[in-house]
Every structure is written in structure tokens, then in C-alpha cells.
Amino acid sequence: MTEDIQKFILYMHTEKHTSENTEVSYKRDLKNMEQFLNGQGINQIEKVTAISLNSYVLYLEKIGRKPSTISRSIASMKAFFHYLAKKGKITVDPSENLKAPKIEKKLPEILTIEETERLLEQPSGTSPKELRDKAMLELLYATGIRVSELIHLKMKDLNIDMEFLVCKDANKERVVPFGTMAKKSLVAYLEKGRPNIVEDDMCDLLFTNCSGQEMSRQGFWKLIKHYGKMAGIEKDLTPHTLRHSFAAHMVGNGADLKSVQEMLGHSDIATTQIYMQVNKGKMREVYQNTHPRR
């Protein structure tokens, strides 16, 4: 079974062009499944049945795994066994009728406009690092792109004069506009910041770490946590917080969902609709705090 899992991960990487994070999740989920099945005396892929997979799902529930974790594990198993069936390794897909548990959708944590402004004001110095940090935060809030997209932006993906950038993934690309505040920060960074950070003329990354190497998601997480603390923001800041805040503020100020969906790169508009709920919650809060006969 171990060899089948390794071949599946390789297939996802070379044929489906999945991200490294996705591949790590698949591998972890499938290794956990394999360990459970081995404990049940099932060590050959042909012996895996719908009953044994359902037993594994029940086991995950019993040990207290979150519904979201179980759903992800089921998605990993479905992808794996569908691959095996496609390759002719098995004749019946035992995962076909697995049902994911219902997940209560949590509204994303968003910053108020005032909190956002405080956060963006923190890197206010003129050192190369602060110019970089300012440009990264401003661009992230101006566009709503993912942190993974931000740290992989190339110089050629940015059009300063026309105020837009191009985001690419394995299957598609999208054009996202940004405004004058982000442009101002980017110009300052490109003129006085980046030349002092990136010494390698062959490096085409827009943003790097202070050593001129590719920045990690963890590196950016530390960066935003640092400035959040400086700004006195008590909310749990994650790399996605500015993306959520961008979307919620856009919708709250009247942007149509279709446009926000395209800027965020959501394949399904239902994903974008959660920001309508965020603003409904805000309206209720305002009503309860201000209406004289609430």
C-alpha cells in the first residue's frame, strides 16, 4: 500500500500539478489510513472494502477528530481510490459511497477598517525591510490575493503603470487591479528597498526574505503577527486575515459578488457568498448597538 500511495502522490504532482501543501495533506491522510488498516490486518490494497473505510471514519470520529479533518481525509481517500480504479489496480472503488460529515461554516475573522489602517501604518520606516513589509501588506489588502500567490509573484507579473498584477496557478491566471496606496508603497520598495535586499540580478521574485531568498508562508505569518502586535490588534491574525478583510470590505462597500469572486480567484461563487454573511452580522451588531427600540 505504501508504494501505491507514493505513486499516487507522484501522479498528483506531475499530472494534476497540485501544490506542495495539498500533496503533504494527501500523504499524511493516506498514511494515517494505511496505519489503521494495517492494524486491522488489511495490508493489501485489493482487500480494502467500503466497510473497512467506514470503520476508519468512525474511528476518526471516536478519537475526536474535527469534522473538517474527517472531511479532508475522506476527500484524500476518494482521490486515491479513484486513481487506483482509473489505473486498473482495483475493480471496485471502496470509497465511492463515503459521506463527509456536515461542517458548520465559521465566519472568517476580519479586521475593521480602522484596525486595517492601524496595521498598514506599522511599517513606517525607510529601511529596506520596512519598505518591503509595507509594500507586501498594502498589496495584500489592495488585491485580496493569497499569501502563497504574494510570495511567488515575479517582477514580470507586476504592471506598476497600469496598476494591476497577474496571478497564475497551474491551470489559469487572473488579472487583479490595485490602487494608488499600494502603488506608492511598491514604487518606494522597488526604488529603495528591493535593490538592497536582492543582490542576485537573476532573481525574478518581487518579494524575498532579508537574505534575498524565497520567503515562506511561515515567514510572512511571523511578519503579520509582529505588526499586528505593534498595532494593538487582539484578533487572531493569520496570513489569510487581510484577504478576508479585503473581500468583506469590498462587499460591504457595494462591490458585486461576481467581481470579488474573480479577484479572489474563487472557482465557485458560493465560496464568496460567505462575505455577505459577514456583513449581515455586522449590520445586526450595528442595529443592536444603535437602534432606540432594539
* 117 and 82 co-located in one domain: no
* 79 and 133 co-located in one domain: no
* 18 or 214: which leads in pLDDT: 214
Q: Give the per-residue pLDDT at 287.
A: 36
For residue 260, list its beta bridge partners: none
* 10 and 80 co-located in one domain: yes
The answer to whether residue 105 is domain-embedded is no
| Per-residue pLDDT tens over the stretch 51-110 | 999 999 999 999 999 888 899 999 999 999 999 999 999 999 999 998 877 766 666 788
* 122 and 166 co-located in one domain: yes
* 217 and 275 co-located in one domain: yes
151 in Cβ contact with 214 (< 8 Å): yes
HSE-CB at 131 with a 13 A cutoff on CA atoms is 18
The answer to whether residue 104 is domain-embedded is no
* 23 and 124 co-located in one domain: no
Residue 51 belongs to what domain range? 2-86
The answer to whether residue 101 is domain-embedded is no
* 49 and 164 co-located in one domain: no
Q: Give the per-residue pLDDT at 293.
A: 46
Interatomic CA distance for residues 122 and 130, integer angstroms: 9
Interatomic CA distance for residues 226 and 129, integer angstroms: 13
| Per-residue pLDDT tens over the stretch 179-193 | 999 999 999 999 999
* 142 and 279 co-located in one domain: yes
| Per-residue pLDDT tens over the stretch 146-178 | 898 999 999 999 999 999 999 876 667 889 999
The answer to whether residue 211 is domain-embedded is yes
Domain end among 86, 104, 126: 86
Cell readout for 254 is 457595494
| Per-residue pLDDT tens over the stretch 212-241 | 999 998 999 999 999 999 999 998 888 788
* 56 and 190 co-located in one domain: no
Q: What is the mean pLDDT of residues 256-274?
A: 77
The CATH number covering residue 157 comes to 1.10.443.10
The CATH number covering residue 23 comes to 1.10.150.130
The answer to whether residue 100 is domain-embedded is no
The answer to whether residue 252 is domain-embedded is yes
Interatomic CA distance for residues 68 and 32, integer angstroms: 16
Segments in the chain forming alpha helices (H): 2-14, 20-39, 50-62, 67-86, 113-121, 128-143, 147-151, 180-188, 194-197, 217-230, 241-252, 257-264, 269-272, 274-290
- With cell 465566519, the residue in question is 107
C-alpha angle 134-114-275 in degrees, rounded to nearest 5: 95
Domain end among 70, 86, 102: 86
45 in Cβ contact with 84 (< 8 Å): yes
The answer to whether residue 108 is domain-embedded is no
Domain end among 86, 105, 140: 86
Cell readout for 7 is 505513486
* 137 and 52 co-located in one domain: no
209 band by pLDDT with thresholds 50, 70 and 90: very high
The answer to whether residue 294 is domain-embedded is no
* 70 and 127 co-located in one domain: no
Cell readout for 140 is 495584500
- Longest CA–CA span in the chain (Å) reads 69
Domain count, the chain: 2
Best CA proximity match to 165, nearest among 268, 263, 256: 263
* 134 and 252 co-located in one domain: yes
Q: How high is the mean pLDDT of the chain?
A: 87
